[in-house]
Amino acid sequence: MAGHGTDDIQRRLKSVEGHVRGVQRMVDEGAYCIDIVNQITAVQRALKKISGLVLDQHLHSCVTDAMRGPDAAAREQVLGELLEFFEATGKA
């Protein structure tokens, strides 16, 4: 995965990693359960955003290249992968 957005994605992943360690500390220290759940929800939102950024990069690179290229099998593969993804996430 290459592109100008890769640095942003790496930065966001490192932030999530730190956030998860913070949640782990909260659990270790016996923090209030709703506070822990709220922090987990924040991590999930951050991961969803990162997933969207990666998918956007994929659509603008691999998928675009396959659709413009002469290889019909490559086109079918990327379309199949996208369909599987959307079915797995309940978005199809």
Residue 34 and residue 49: Cα distance in Å, rounded? 23
Instruction: Give pLDDT, residue 48.
Output: 96
Q: Whole-prediction pTM value?
A: 0.83
Q: Give the structural domain span for 61.
A: 6-88
Asked whether the beta carbons of 9 and 54 are under 8 A apart, the reply is yes
CATH number reported for the structural domain that contains residue 70 in this entry: 1.20.58.1000
Residues belonging to the chain: 92
Give residue for tokens 């996208």. 82
Q: Tokens standing for 3?
A: 């592109």
Residue 2's pLDDT band, with cuts at 50, 70 and 90, is: low
* Phi, psi (rounded to 5 degrees) for 30: 70, 35
Q: How many domains does the chain have?
A: 1
43-75 residue pLDDT tens: 999 999 999 999 999 999 999 999 999 999 999
Residue 58 lies in a domain: yes
